[in-house]
Amino acid sequence: MAQTILAASSRVTISTFRFIPASDLSFRYEGRLDRAMADEFIRRLRQQVCMQRFLEMGPLAEARAQNFRPRSATSEKCADLFVPFALFVAQPWLIRATPFYLMKMVSLILGALLIGAASLSAVDAVGPQSKPNDYPLTADSLPQPGVPQGRLEGPLEFHRRIFAGTVRRYWIFVPAQYRAEKSAAVCVFQDGQRATHPGGHSACRRCWKT
């Protein structure tokens, strides 16, 4: 993912996306870049890189010290080299003087058109079939003739120590094909009271909180 730095005609703005390795930064610059803007540009980039390091290292180091993996020397270097590099590439005379600039503009426009076309076709593909709150069950969710029926045990109640003071219910689904000699695969599913409901979650939309 790229971080885009957009320069309006009067000032440099940086759209932020917090958790990106500095080495993944890329930018686009349009318009004139004078000395004051260049200074602002550098200031904000430095702020950005510092903020990013702070966000990535501070809370994580605190919370997960034992699993924490420090930044590699390479990515440190990328971050430090990025500011001079960005400034170098952002020189308008340099950008305009090279065929690279033209190629970049053409590829930007083509890219935008492609993305637009793709999103339009995606909307077309989904649009007519899907209505709000309309989630029809498919064959796999409905009883099928000839399929041996398993059994659902429960609700059973469960008290233990990890979540002290709580009680919960659970159900065990035992497929007809289960044999005690052979260990079975396991599927654990949360919100068991709804997951075992034959109408599925869509049957109890009103009970949703989070």
Partner 1 sequence: MPQVLENLIHKMEIPVTIGLFITPGNLSEKYPDNLGLSNPDHRAPEYDALNDNYARFLVEEILPEVGKKYRLTDDPENRVIGGTSSGAICAWTVAWERPDQFRKVISMIGSYVSIGYQRAHEGHPMMLGGDMYPTLIRRHPPKPIRIFL
Cβ proximity of 21 and 75 under 8 Å: yes
Task: State yes or no: residue 170 binds partner 1 (CB under 8 A).
Answer: yes
Task: State yes or no: residue 182 binds partner 1 (CB under 8 A).
Answer: yes
Closest-CA residue to 192 (of 157, 151, 149, 160): 157
d(CA 28, CA 17) in angstroms, rounded, equals: 15
- CA–CA distances in Å: residue 133 to residues 63, 195, 206, 208, 210: 40, 18, 11, 13, 17
Q: Of 8-16, 83-91, 98-106, 160-168, which segment contacts partner 1 by CB under 8 A?
A: 160-168
Task: State yes or no: residue 157 binds partner 1 (CB under 8 A).
Answer: yes
Task: State yes or no: residue 158 binds partner 1 (CB under 8 A).
Answer: yes
Q: Total residues contacting partner 1 (rule CB under 8 A)? A: 72
Comparing CB distances to partner 1, the nearer of 9 and 74 is 74
Please select the residue that binds partner 1; options are 65, 73, 123, 188, rule is CB under 8 A: 188
Cβ proximity of 169 and 156 under 8 Å: yes
Task: State yes or no: residue 195 binds partner 1 (CB under 8 A).
Answer: yes
Comparing CB distances to partner 1, the nearer of 10 and 66 is 66
Cβ proximity of 178 and 184 under 8 Å: yes
Comparing CB distances to partner 1, the nearer of 131 and 179 is 179
Q: Of 84-92, 99-107, 118-126, 162-170, which segment contacts partner 1 by CB under 8 A?
A: 162-170
What is the footprint of partner 1 within residues 97-136 (CB under 8 A)? Answer: none
CB of 142 to partner 1, least distance (A): 7
Q: Which H or E element spans position 87?
A: helix 73-89
User: How many Cβ atoms sit within 10 Å of the Cβ of residue 139?
Assistant: 7
